[in-house]
Amino acid sequence: MSVIPEKRRRKAEINIIPLVDVLIVLIFFFLLSMQFRNVNTLNISMPKIETAGKNVMTNQISIAVSPEGTFYYNDKEVTVNQLDELVKTASHLPTKKDITILLIADEDSSLKYVTTVMDICRKYQMDRIQLQSR
């Protein structure tokens, strides 16, 4: 009588070397095909802020900028030179540290007008500037 030898079952195993090879190829593919763009070249439109709360400020100056570059100091139309003088005068007040500048710029106004207002304010150490959103 012959004994039939038992078949040894091979242990199930997963060979991960081919998986690693495929992952490395995919990583190289994605790195080579990605387009790295400079932020300055992107066409960005600023979003409106849905959750903006109302600020309660008692000692503030509001400066508005229209899309055409017209400046308004507390709802009164002024030129750049007049705005400079008004901010300079406000910077000499004893309550200067408590004054907040509320900058209201139209969404279509040029960035150069907004930065002009910010430069004027910072020139006289009026650094508490807040931007108004819709």
The domain 60-131 is classified under which CATH number: 3.40.50.300, 3.30.420.270, 3.60.15.10, 3.20.20.70?
3.30.420.270
The pTM (predicted TM-score) of the whole model is: 0.56
Structure tokens at 86: 């008004």
Q: What is the mean pLDDT of each run of 10 residues along the chain (134 residues)?
A: 70 86 92 64 52 61 86 88 91 81 84 90 87 70
Neighbours of 130 (CB within 10 A): 14
Taking CA atoms, 91 is separated from 11, 62, 86, 120, in Å, by 82, 14, 9, 11
**Which residues is 76 bridged to in the sheet?**
73
Distance in angstroms (rounded) separating the CA atoms of residues 64 and 104: 4
